[in-house]
Amino acid sequence: MSSVPFTPDLSIKPEVTAFFDAPTNTISYVVKDPSSDACAVIDSVMDIDYAAGRITYDGADRIIAYIREHNLKLEWLIETHVHADHLSGAPYIQGKLGGKLGIGENITIVQDTFGKIFNEGTEFQRDGSQFDRLFKDGDSYSIGNLTAYAMHTPGHTPACMTHVMGDAAFVGDTLFMPDGGSARADFPGGDARTLYRSIQRVLSLPGEMRLFMCHDYGPNGREIQWETTVADEREHNIHVGKDATEDAFVAMREARDATLAMPRLIIPSLQVNMRAGRLPPKDDDGNVFLKVPVNGL
Ligand SMILES: [Fe+2]
């Protein structure tokens, strides 16, 4: 794995509409093919009040309403990775609007790891079959007339992919805004050195390419932002910009990760997202439960 395994076409400029989920600082996107009514949804959110065990769909409903209002045809629901900080709204949106659900092929590694941690039985398949498409590095797919490419960018998790569509790239948690640096690399299957190399891959995309983040936390009190460029990240990213070396990055990342608490929603998120955003199966009485592994994480 080294350079970018496809040639981006920067003359194609998809229309990107962002939806910010304040409780989890997640940004979801509707990406529209500029030459047709086809679109994709990237990293949607299902709402949870974890203390109450209550699931709702206000955020996903906003995305559905937008797609309907603009008479778009939803062709893809993309997960950049198995999120540990929010639950995916993809199956709910797919149920209303159709489209295919895709994630990186290393979802199987994530399913194996967390299938064990949550002591799931044979009901839980670890072959990625909950998704419609498992992307390999360099794979392409169509959104109307727009060709999208998947690029494997592991490190935050083993299944992380960056999706490139025309002059826009959706980096998931591979990068944050320049003043936010990078995401943690200490979840099971994460690795700081791998993350550094994946980031270098993203930074080797053309400088003028637009980059869209999955998260922003408004560091130092600034307003929430989610869009930058490759050139801006190369120059200004506080963790990997300018002359940051791999060893310095790894030392910084590992020291910092050791201080971070687990994300508030990691336990429900992983149980649901490893199932492509579906809740665990109902019990004999028709009730749904989420588990809490004691000292398991
Ligand atoms: Fe993440």
Neighbouring residues of 133: CB distance < 8 A, sequence distance ≥ 6: 100, 101, 102, 103, 141
Q: How far is the CA of 81 from the centre of ligand 1 (A)?
A: 7
* Alpha-carbon gap, residue 226 to 105, rounded angstroms: 26
Task: Please give the average per-residue pLDDT across 62-79, as a whole number.
Answer: 98
Q: Strand pairing of 54-56 and 45-49?
A: antiparallel
Task: Please give the average per-residue pLDDT across 242-249, as a whole number.
Answer: 92
Task: Please give the average per-residue pLDDT across 237-254, as a whole number.
Answer: 94
Q: How far is the CA of 82 from the centre of ligand 1 (A)?
A: 7
Contact indicator for 240, 252 with CB cutoff of 8 Å: no
Mean residue pLDDT of the chain comes to: 96
Predicted pLDDT at 177: 98
Q: How far is the CA of 2 from the centre of ligand 1 (A)?
A: 22
* Alpha-carbon gap, residue 49 to 213, rounded angstroms: 24
Task: Please give the average per-residue pLDDT across 43-51, as a whole number.
Answer: 97
Q: How far is the CA of 73 from the centre of ligand 1 (A)?
A: 27
Does 297 have pLDDT greater than 90? no
Task: Please give the average per-residue pLDDT across 82-86, as a whole number.
Answer: 97
Does 1 have pLDDT greater than 60? no
Q: How far is the CA of 213 from the centre of ligand 1 (A)?
A: 11
User: pLDDT of 130-152, one tens digit each?
Assistant: 999 999 999 999 999 999 999 99
Cβ < 5 A residues, ion ligand 1 = 83, 173
* Alpha-carbon gap, residue 162 to 211, rounded angstroms: 10
Q: How far is the CA of 161 from the centre of ligand 1 (A)?
A: 11
Which residues share a beta bridge with 211?
169, 228
pTM of the model: 0.97
Phi-psi region of 276 (alpha: psi -120 to 50; beta: other; left: phi over 0): left
Task: State the pLDDT confidence band at 243, using cuts at 50, 70 and 90.
Answer: confident
Q: How far is the CA of 195 from the centre of ligand 1 (A)?
A: 12
Q: Which whole-number Å values give the CA distances from 37 to 14, 66, 67, 69, 260, in the listed order?
A: 11, 13, 10, 12, 42
Q: Kind and range of the H or E element at 48?
A: strand 45-49
Count Cβ atoms within 10 A of the Cβ of residue 127 and give its class: 0-12 exposed, 13-18 middle, 19 or more buried: exposed
Predicted pLDDT at 171: 98
Question: Hey, what are 80's tokens?
Answer: 């950049």
Predicted pLDDT at 181: 97
* Alpha-carbon gap, residue 204 to 219, rounded angstroms: 25
* Alpha-carbon gap, residue 10 to 165, rounded angstroms: 9
Angle subtended at Cα 232 by Cα 231 and Cα 234, rounded to the nearest 5 degrees: 65
Question: Hey, what are 279's tokens?
Answer: 């809740």
Task: State the pLDDT confidence band at 2, using cuts at 50, 70 and 90.
Answer: low
Residues of the chain with pLDDT > 90, as a percent, come to 96
Predicted pLDDT at 38: 98
Q: Strand pairing of 210-212 and 227-229?
A: antiparallel
Predicted pLDDT at 3: 82
Does 67 have pLDDT greater than 90? yes
